[in-house]
Amino acid sequence: MARGFSRIGYHAVVLNGYVFGSRQYAGVFDGQAQPGRPAGTPGAHALGYNSNSLGVCMIGRDNFSLNQLFVTRRVIQDWMRLYDIPIERVIGHYEVARSKTCPNIGGDLLRSYVAGGIVLPKMLQEIEKWNRK
């Protein structure tokens, strides 16, 4: 592949509904979680953390749909249950690589949303505030 990886670096990718490389929206794909690497295979998503982490990517940089946020939360919650991951271990890429901004959502905000402490409409408002910083 282009950067020398044998396959995608994430364990899951959550689509935003736009057809790759175009502005054509296909709603059936909005929020669809696509499998990436198997959970037992180290990722290639966060240098220094790949051997002991799972990576999920939301397509869209900083413009996420309700479906994407809902499905991403479900993916993370499923992983937390399956692998006994405490909420404190749910982190954004930027929290381990200062040159990164992803997921373009504050870590505390993401953890609160995953843990159920913040509802989806409020999450969207908070993401907008975060990205205006």
Owning domain of residue 69: 12-132
Q: Is residue 1 in some structural domain? A: no
pLDDT of residue 122: 82
Within a domain: residue 29?
yes
Q: How many CA atoms lie within 13 A of 97 on its CB side?
A: 14
Q: Which two tokens stand for residue 118?
A: 């913040």
pLDDT, the chain, mean: 87
Give the pLDDT confidence score for residue 104 in this predicted structure.
Answer: 79
Residue 4: inside a domain: no
* Cα-based distances in Å from 117 to 20, 108, 125: 33, 11, 15
Strands 12-14 and 56-58: parallel
Structural domain count, the chain: 1
| Alpha-helical segments (H) within the chain | 66-83, 107-115, 120-132
Q: Is the omega angle on the peptide bond into residue 103 within 30 degrees of 0, that is, cis?
A: yes
How far lies 67's CA from each of 2, 16, 33, 42, 116, in Å? 29, 8, 10, 27, 16
Question: pTM of the prediction?
Answer: 0.86
The answer to whether residue 6 sits within a structural domain is no
Residue at 36: amino acid letter:
G
pLDDT per position as a tens digit, 65-108: 889 999 999 999 999 999 999 999 999 888 888 888 788 788 88
Residue 93 located in a structural domain: yes
Residue 54 within a domain: yes
In a domain, 121, yes or no: yes
Q: From the CB of residue 89, how many other CB atoms can be counted at a distance below 10 Å?
A: 13
Name the nearest CA neighbour of 85 among 11, 2, 24, 4: 11
**pLDDT the model gives residue 44:** 86
Q: Is residue 116 included in any domain, yes or no? A: yes
Predicted confidence at residue 6, as pLDDT, reads 65
